[in-house]
Amino acid sequence: MSKNWRYQQLSLVYAVCITLFVFLGVNLAAGDELVEGIGLIHVIAPDRTSVNLTHDPIPEIGWPAMTMDLGLSELARAQASQLMPGMVIKFTLERDPEGIFQIGDVQIAPEGTSVDAAKSQGDAPGSTDHDTMDHDAMDHDTMDHDRMDHGEHGHNMILDDEGMVMNANHDRLPEDCSAISQDYEFKIQVGRHYTEGRPGVIYGYSEHEINVEPCSRIKVELINDDSIRHQWMVHGLPRYLYPQGMFHLEASGGATKTGTFIVPSDDRTYLIHCDMAQHMEKGLKGQLVVGDGNGNLFSIPGVSGAMRSNAEDEESNIWNQAMVYFLGTSALGAVIVLFTSIGKLS
């Protein structure tokens, strides 16, 4: 009896191990990384499927502070009825069925929560103050959302069927520049053809890094070789020259757009990216280095390491699940052997 009881104890231990392994396997299969962020809402799409916001850095996925559009999950769409432009929100990111990050869960941030990125860009309020919001005066049905670009008016915009040029500046000098130091012209091509040697990304620029002198004038010709829209945006420029601190080129599929801007005198590295939903994560990210710059930005293709791709995430999940099920199956086999031995002893 004592020997049989010992075998039964071991069997119970193995059964507990199997339960733990299966539980772990379910969590690994369903538990894509939980990423959280804080952002200031600028615009909510009329159909409440996306928001435009400025968020603080999200280091878990290599995103710097920036203004961008993010899609909403079904849960977040239901929660969006309580949101309005000017609110600070806390949100989580999850991947949609296509592997693209979207807001999975969203809540109004506690009063006093601030978005440092919005403050540094001059956006107001930059923090949640429910008492100063005139909720009754906000009529979302009468808002012309299509004319709201990044939550701010006053952009210098040229828009046509082939795309858009925003905040072009040919001759107005930054306050810290006495003259144009040098003129540059760059031809930037964008599309699926420019991803060679960069596994896991879908889109690419022909150049992901450009270097210029301080106080230089830069002319960029953006050539879109794809059939869908792409953008080339620079963030962090002086707001007194460039509303929202950005210069923006957008070209429709097969189109070309050209624009010019002037950079200030400080040594700095500026973010370049495409603001179309998840295009940056899929490869359209670069940097503009003025003078000596101030260090490389995160995950610039070909410059500061490869971006973590959906394919890598999927491969990692497959290996994790395979290991869990291998261990679980091994434990199950051991239990079967033990029960067989117990039967023979009986």
d(CA 2, CA 144): 80
Residue 137 has pLDDT above 50, yes or no: no
Is the sign of the CA dihedral 153, 159, 161, 162 positive or negative? Answer: negative
Residue 63 DSSP class: B
Residue 171 DSSP class: S
Residue 335 has pLDDT above 80, yes or no: no
- List the beta strands (DSSP E) in the chain: 35-44, 50-55, 66-71, 88-95, 101-108, 157-160, 163-166, 183-191, 204-205, 209-212, 217-224, 230-235, 246-251, 256-262, 268-273, 285-290
When pLDDT is averaged across residues 56-77 and rounded to a whole number, the result is 84
The predicted structure's pLDDT at residue 247: 94
Q: What is the pLDDT of residues 238-251, one digit of tens each?
A: 989 998 788 999 99
Q: Is the pTM of this model over 0.75?
A: no
Give the angle subtended at the CA of 184 by the CAs of 278 and 214, to the nearest 5°: 85
Percentage above 90 pLDDT, the chain? 38
- Is the domain defined by 33-153 classed in CATH 2.40.50.320? yes
The predicted structure's pLDDT at residue 18: 58
Residue 10 has pLDDT above 70, yes or no: no
Residue 66 has pLDDT above 90, yes or no: no
Residue 194 DSSP class: G
Poorest-confidence range of 80-94, 162-176, 221-235, 321-335?
321-335
Task: Give Cα separations from 77 to 28, 46, 104, 155, 239 (angstroms).
Answer: 26, 11, 9, 29, 32
Residue 258 has pLDDT above 90, yes or no: yes
The predicted structure's pLDDT at residue 120: 58
Confidence of residue 145 (pLDDT cuts 50, 70, 90): very low
- Is the domain defined by 154-306 classed in CATH 3.60.20.30? no
Domain ranges of the chain: 2-31+310-345, 33-153, 154-306
Distance from chain centroid for Cα 297: 14
Confidence of residue 46 (pLDDT cuts 50, 70, 90): confident
Residue 150 has pLDDT above 50, yes or no: no
Contact between residue 134 and residue 125 where contact means Cβ atoms under 8 Å apart: no
